[in-house]
Amino acid sequence: MLQTWFIVAVSAAYLGLLFAVAHYGDRRADSGRSIINNATVYALSFGVYATSWTYYGSVGWAARAGVGFLPIYLGPTIMLALGWLVLRRIIRISRRHRVTSLADFVSARYGKSTALGALVTIIAVVGVIPYISLQLKAVSLTFATLRRDPGITSAAELSHIPVLEDTGLYAALVLAAFTILFGTRHLDATERHEGMVAAIAFETVVKLAAFLSVGIFVVFWMFRGFGDLFSRAADAGHTTLFTLHGQTGYGSWVWLMVLSMLAIVLLPRQWQIGVVENVDERHLKRVLWMFPLYLLVISAFVLPIAAGGLLRFGPGADADTYVLTLPMAGGQEALALFVFIGGLSAATSMVIVETIALSTMVSNSLVMPLLLRGRSRLARRDNLAGLVLGIRRAAIVLILLLGYGYLRVAGGETALVSIGLVSFAAVAQFAPAILGGLFWKGGTRRGVLVGLVAGFVVWAYTLVLPTFADAGLLSASFLQEGPFGVGLLRPERLFGMPAMDPVSHAMFWSALVNVGGYVVVSLADPPRAAERAQAVQFVGVVEEPFGERRRQVRATVGELQALLERFLGPEGAQRVLRSSPGRRPDSPAAEAPPELVHHAEAQLAGSVGAASARLAVAAVAGEEEIGTEEVMRMIGEASQRVELVRWRLKLLYDATGGIGTTLDVTRTAEELAQVAVPRFADYVAVDLAESVLREEELGPDGTGTGIKRMQRAAVSGIRDDAPLFAVGDRLTFSPSSPQARAVESGVAVLVPRLRESTQWREVDLDPARGSRVIDFGIHSLITAPLSARGVLLGMVHFWRSEKPEPFDQDDLSLAAELATRASVSVDNARRYTREHGLAVALQRRLLPRGLPEQNAVEVASRYLPAQAVGGDWFDVIPLPGARVALVMGDIVGHGLHAAATMGQLRTAVHNFSTPLDLPPDELLSHLDELVTLIDQDAITAGDETTVTGATCLYVVYDSVSGTCVIASAGHPPPALVHPDGRVEFLDVAPCLPLGIGGLPFAATELSLAEGSRLVLFTDGLIERRALDIDVGLRLLRETLARADPSPEGTCDAVLDALLPESRSDDIALLVARTRVLGPGQVAEWDVERDPAAVRRVRAAVSARLMEWELEDLVFPTELICSELITNAVRHATGPIKARLIRDGALTFEVSDHSSTSPHLRYAASTDEGGRGLFLVAQFAERWGTRYTEEGKVIWAEQTTPGTAGG
Amino acid sequence: MAESRDDEQLGLRLAAVAVLGFVLTIPPFLARFDRVGQVFGVPVLAAYLFLVWAITIGLIALIGGRSR
């Protein structure tokens, strides 16, 4: 004996197991490894068709009427054979139009009518409630039966249970809770529930196993096989088992077939499983035979079990529970419990799917439209998901309670199958609207409204009311005599219809008014534009494009002309006819020769496209049945096509202009990402190889370092929250991903439907990312490599989410074209950036890092390189004797060559100035020779660019005398700002630029007041395309006149006034404010050509040093002084002068008029003289000789305490 | 998405099977076998219907399986 608690516990455990399966299914779905993306699982989930009705009710039916139960299973087989025509269309339409329920489908087909959706929902809910009550009844009935084990209970005992003891109520509540947990955990845009489908497939297996166990038990355990069983049944006189005759009329047999054919498609749960949960259209192929096979197997034992039950219990027992009571009677408690679980699984699977499907319809097609229309506040709520889920949960509870209510009121004593057939008849009402809508374009919204309402009313009147009457809610006279005694209106004998069984009777009348209403109203009232558009889309969903076919066209010239006129106008038509080759026909009634037909078609194709032209001609020729509507549609498509081509050209045009506006790699990537959004794709991301971003050179085979690694360079999208990689993320694509395939093959790869791509799921090490992208709504991808000169530079990915249509082959070529254009720009930018970077680095190394310390002038400088690196340079070189050299130069041309030459010249100038200390004109001569030399080398080496034309300005300023010497080699003369603010451009001898050779350079000497500003600049400052040189000079003059006197201030003011917006040439600017050493810093003595003078000068020097408080330097200076003067007195000619300068360092100079240069000698130990300069070199920091116009100066410099360095 | 010729063929062939199955499972064929009697121990009508059913399924599987 089975304890109640044990049955409950096992049932609970089973439900727990079911939930675990669903949870597993959901988890697999979340991680992107769907288990329901499998034809067999899909076929098994179709098993939701087999409910308690099949499980228990069929046997009951068979016990009463033999094979009369079979149409319910034969019908689906026939329908599925038609499934490739019907179901596949529905699936395809649903996917294309994002239809998520039956109500949605009807509404969408007939012009997106809200009213229709609501009506279908109401009919579906009302119609299916009896069916749900059937499941509840089966659960409570079998539970009650099992509890009473081993006693076999009669049906009568099981009715009349108080509500609170009724298992049906608890079953309803538990199932409601279970369904809510299952189906409304979160909202999914596609309304798909992978976990649920997995659980349903599992249940399908469970109930089959349980039912087969009973069947085998009964046939082979209780009896000795089929023969024995049926022989005994025949002997016992149970002839009902053998024939239909007398139990089921052939008419109702056929009606039942039709009903079940429709039910397998139109029941909300079948729609949910078959259409909404379909992952791949191709899975349908397996369902077509596998599901009928399932039905065959599960039906095979129905008749034997019924026979066994009849033999075992006699006709008195409730045949609906034979499946359970037979094992109980056989003492098989475990089997009985298994059977109960099987029945439970049949009931739960039906209830779960049905209520989920209905709740989706209720919330999406009934409640939400009302709420959103009635209270606009709701429409603005941020998160409607909670509301929708709430509505669904409420709908689930309500539907189950309604089912229970129906059971209490009307279903108590009715056989299971009769209840179920009521529901079948209800959903069959959708058939005209849906099947008609699939194949007939003429159906209209009003037609459906009229047909549905009429069919539904008739259904309720002829099928539902009688069940209420049977239950005693209506008086029996209602059935017997008709309402108010009107016999013609008797619900089961409408208009005096001769005796039919209730279902056939109801089906006949409801089908009549439904189909009749639909067709008549649709014909009377032509469809509106919106309906027509939808109709064309729905009906034509699988139409194939017209291929090339050889055909014989028969059309008259007149017809052809009329056709041409419709498309091209009368003149166009005439022109086409005139231009036709071959014989011209005489009259419009004559048959057009084939060449004329082809000519006309070719001309038409030019304006409406080939396919449309062919169709149009075919329509005239009568070869194809084509209405005006199609021709209009074709014209629409053709013009759309033209629009599309124009749109593509525009996009490419914009891309050409919009990509590559700069020579910046990242900016180019951003431009590529932006140009395609939102016109072409909803999201675009550009990845660049890391080596591109790092400006490395790439190997042509793409093996440069970092080539396998990409970095996201730009993302652009219609929204910001797409779960794509962000800019800066590093990514590596797994080898099987579409991205990697694009890289390998070097061509763009199209993934039209991401959801169906298994590789997409493996795009990343984190498979959840792929799913997140799909869940976000991104459904289509094109990924294209960016490569130039055989080098992979990066990738571009185009995604679509909002645009419903996936990318197609045309889009693929457009994307590839975009990628190619962008690649060229990226490559240019990359190469430019790299070269520019090199030149800038070179130039930066060649230019002075900081200006050297010197006291002769106060300087400020600015150097502004152009976009292309140029050859401007400047320098400040301290010279001995408190002098400084200011250099400004300009190499013709730009780029690396200019920068390198600049480096050479700058070094040369340095060498000519510091150790050699050449006067400006002489220095320029040497520089000129050098440039000539460089040029000769270059020409010898076959180099085309030369240095000739380089200019240079060399200024030496002596802060002791306040004089400056300037020499210029073709360089713009410097500006001089007098302390009083006057500005003049110095009149410097204008010599030829460097490298021309031949003419000597002239130096100009002038004396400057203290605080004068020398402004040296290159022509980039004052001369450019938009600025005339005179204007530039005037502007400079005016600016200098009012600029801040400090060099820094002057620089800023000049650049503010003269800096162009875009520089085509470098600009170098050097401002030096002169200082003059005061009497306290310089001392000078004339030296007689007398050895005694040495001592006098030495004394004077030490006295001056004491005065300057440089006691530490007295001894070395005296020594240097004696040596240099002694030398001068001994060797020199002309007057000798000695000078002591304190300017940071301490410099002692001796000048004379001879030009013989002393040089350092390492005297042998026996030498008497020759040690002087050696000593000087020892004590002095630096020493040297320079030549002046009069002669030469020998100088020695020492570091003074307090000044760092020399 | 254009309908391929294969798909169209498949749809029509399966439809033919459907018609065949339907015709064989309704009167008059049905009536022909609607009599008391056993064949292989099973009622004649049931045996006939299951046989037709199995053949229909087999044809669907065959036709569906052959098209790729």
Which of A61, A67, A265, A439 has the most B C-beta neighbours within 10 Å, making it the best mutation to test the interface with B? Answer: A67
Distance CA A195, CA A25 (A): 4
What tokens appear for A381 in the block? 């709520």
Residue B14 has pLDDT above 80, yes or no: yes
- Residue B6, chain A, CB below 8 Å: the answer is no
Report d(CA B33, CA B14) in Å as an integer. 26
Q: Does A382 touch chain B (CB under 8 A)?
A: no
Reference A1114, options A1189, A1050, A1201; nearest CA is A1201
Helices (H), ranges, A70-113 = 71-81, 87-96, 102-109
CA A1073 to CA A876: how far, in whole Å? Answer: 13
CA-CA distance, A664 to A781, in Å (whole number)? Answer: 27
Residue of B nearest to A225 (CA): B41
Question: DSSP letter string over A475-492?
Answer: -HHHHHH-GGG-GGG-TT
Confidence class for position A705, pLDDT limits 50, 70, 90: very low
* Residue appearing with tokens 């199932």: A175
Mean pLDDT across A830-854: 77
- Please tell me which of A33-42, A451-460, A856-865, A1051-1060 the model is most confident about, judged by mean pLDDT: A451-460
| A385 at B interface, C-beta within 8 A | no
pLDDT exceeds cutoff 80 at A456: yes
Residue numbers in B near A289 (CB within 8 A): 57-58, 60-61, 64
What confidence tier does A527 reach under pLDDT thresholds 50, 70, 90? confident
Residue pairs between chains A and B whose CB atoms are closer than 8 Å:
136
Q: Which of B7, B38, B57 sits opposite A77 (nearest CB)?
A: B57
* Rounded Cα–Cα distance for residues A1094 and A1117 (Å): 13
Domain locations in chain B as residue ranges: 13-66
Q: Model confidence over A347-358: pLDDT tens digits?
A: 999 999 999 999
- Cβ contact A296–B34 (<8 Å): no
Q: Is the peptide bond before A678 cis (omega within 30 degrees of 0)?
A: yes
Is A546's pLDDT higher than 50? no
**pLDDT at position A209 over 90:** yes
Chain-chain contact of B49 with A67 (C-beta, under 8 angstroms): yes
Specify the pLDDT at position A149. 66
What CA–CA distance (Å, rounded) separates A929 from A996? 9
Q: How far does B14 lie from chain A, in Å, by closest CA?
A: 5
Give pLDDT, residue A430: 94
pLDDT, position A824: 87
Q: Which residues contact A745 (CB under 8 A, 6 or more apart)?
A: none
Q: Residue A273 carries which DSSP code?
A: I
pLDDT score, position A297:
95
- Report the 10 Å Cβ neighbour count for A349: 30
Instruction: Please report the pLDDT score of residue B2 as a whole number.
Output: 43
A250 chain-B contacts, CB cut-off 8 A? 26-27, 30-31
Is the pLDDT confidence value at A170 over 50?
yes
Q: Report pLDDT for A1110.
A: 84
Mutate to test the interface with A, among B24, B44, B56 (most CBs of A within 10 A): B56
The DSSP element (H or E) to which A751 belongs, if any, is: strand A749-751
CB contact under 8 A, A82 and B45: no
Instruction: Report pLDDT for A707.
Output: 47
Task: Give, in order, the Cα–Cα distances in Å from A315 to each of A24, A501, A668, A911.
Answer: 46, 22, 86, 127
User: How high does pLDDT run on average in chain A?
Assistant: 81
Contact B8 A253 (CB under 8 A): no
Is residue B26 less than 8 Å (CB to CB) from chain A?
yes
Query: Shortest CA distance to A90 belongs to which of A114, A73, A108?
Result: A108
Q: Is B55 on the interface with A (CB under 8 A)?
A: no
- Find the closest chain A residue to B36 by CA distance: A242
Judged by CB atoms closer than 8 Å, whether chains meet at B41 and A288 is answered as no
B38 vs chain A: nearest CA distance in angstroms? 8
Q: How far is CA A735 from the centre of its chain?
A: 20
Average pLDDT over residues A1019-1023: 82
Please list the helix, strand and coil fractions of chain A in percent, rounded to the nearest 5, in that order.
Answer: 60, 10, 30
Q: Report whether pLDDT(A619) > 70.
A: no
In angstroms, the Cα distances linking A921 to A651, A890, A952, A1074, A1152 are: 63, 17, 11, 21, 21
Q: Which of B15, B26, B61 sits opposite A257 (nearest CB)?
A: B26
Contact of A1049 with A1114, CB cutoff 8 Å: no
pLDDT at A624: 44
For residue A966, list its beta bridge partners.
Answer: A955, A1004
**Distance between CA atoms of A1026 and A772, rounded to whole angstroms?**
56
Asked if the model's pLDDT at residue A630 lies above 60, the reply is no
pLDDT of A702 above 50: no
- Both tokens assigned to A689: 């190889």
- List, in order of start, the domains of chain A with CATH numbers: 36-417 (1.20.1730.10), 548-645 (no CATH), 659-837 (3.30.450.40), 848-1074 (3.60.40.10), 1079-1199 (3.30.565.10)
- Is the pLDDT at A684 greater than 80, yes or no? yes
Chain B residue closest in CA terms to A75: B22
Where on the phi/psi map is residue A1000: left (φ > 0), alpha (ψ -120 to 50), or beta? beta
From A881, A956, A962, select the one nearest A1185 (Cα to Cα). A881
A74/B25 Cβ within 8 A = yes
Does the beta-carbon distance from B14 to A78 stay under 8 Å? no
- A180 vs A30, A186, A389, A621, CA distance in Å? 19, 10, 9, 60
Q: How confident is the model at residue A625 (pLDDT cuts 50, 70, 90)?
A: very low
pLDDT tens for residues B41-61? 889 999 999 999 999 999 999
Query: Residue A869's closest CA among A850, A852, A847?
Result: A847
Provide the pLDDT confidence category of residue A153 given band limits of 50, 70 and 90: low
Q: Does B7 touch chain A (CB under 8 A)?
A: yes
Task: For chain A, positions 46-85, list CB contacts with chain B under 8 A.
Answer: 66-67, 70-71, 74, 77-85
Is the pLDDT assigned to residue A20 strictly greater than 60? yes
CA distance B40 to chain A (A): 7
In chain A, the residue whose alpha carbon lies closest to the alpha carbon of B59 is A289
Residues of B in contact with A67 (CB under 8 A): 43, 45-46, 49
- Unique residue bearing structure tokens 């100066």: A1193
Q: What's the confidence (pLDDT) of residue A706? A: 40
Report residue A813's pLDDT band, with 50, 70 and 90 as the boundaries: confident
Per DSSP, chain B holds a count of helices (H) and strands (E) of 3, 2
* pLDDT at A380 > cutoff 60: no
pLDDT tens by residue, A1169-1192: 556 777 788 888 888 888 877 788
| Alpha carbons within 13 A on the beta-carbon side of A340 | 30
Q: Are strands A1182-1187 and A1145-1152 parallel, antiparallel or unpaired?
A: unpaired
What is the least distance, in Å, from the CA of A725 to any CA of chain B? 31
Beta bridge partners of A955: A886, A966
Q: Is B60 on the interface with A (CB under 8 A)?
A: yes
DSSP output for A51-77: -HIIIIIHHHHHHHHGGGGTHHHHHHH
CA distance linking residue A881 with residue A1142, whole number of Å:
9
> Would you state the pLDDT for residue A545?
37
Please give, rounded to a whole number of angstroms, the shortest distance from the CA of B26 to a CA of chain A: 6
Name every chain B residue with its beta carbon within 8 A of the beta carbon of A544.
Answer: 2-5, 8
Burial class (CB in 10 A: 0-12, 13-18, 19+), B43: buried
Q: Which positions in chain B touch A228 (Cβ < 8 Å)?
A: 41
Top-ranked range on mean pLDDT: pick from A301-310, A876-885, A989-998:
A301-310
Q: Of B11, B31, B36, which is closest to A85 when you measure between CB atoms?
A: B11
Q: What is the DSSP letter of A591?
A: B
* Rounded Cα–Cα distance for residues A396 and A176 (Å): 6
| Contact B8/A at CB under 8 A | yes
Phi, psi of B42, rounded to the nearest 5 degrees = -115, 145
Q: A166 pLDDT exceeds 80?
A: no
Look at residue A414 and tell me whether its pLDDT is greater than 60. yes
Whether the bond between A806 and the residue before it is cis, its omega within 30 degrees of 0, is no
Q: How many CA atoms lie within 13 A of B58 on its CB side?
A: 6
Would you say residue A839 has pLDDT above 80? no
- Percent of the residues in chain B that have a pLDDT greater than 90, as a whole number: 44
- The C-alpha of A637 sits at a distance from chain B's nearest C-alpha, in angstroms, of 15
Q: Which of A885, A890, A864 has the alpha carbon at shortest distance from A875? A: A885
Does the beta carbon of B39 lie under 8 angstroms from any beta carbon of chain A?
no
Q: Residue A915's pLDDT is what?
A: 76
Q: Do B30 and A78 touch (CB under 8 A)?
A: no
**pLDDT score recorded for residue A521:** 93
State whether A81 and B40 contact (CB < 8 Å): no
Asked if B27 and A47 count as a contact pair (C-beta separation under 8 A), the reply is no
Q: ipTM above 0.90?
A: yes
**Does residue A377 surpass a pLDDT of 60?**
no
- Sequence-ordered list of residues with C-beta below 8 angstroms from that of A212, at least 6 positions apart, any chain: A297, A298, A301
User: Measured between alpha carbons, how far is A487 from A477 in angstroms, rounded to an integer?
Assistant: 10
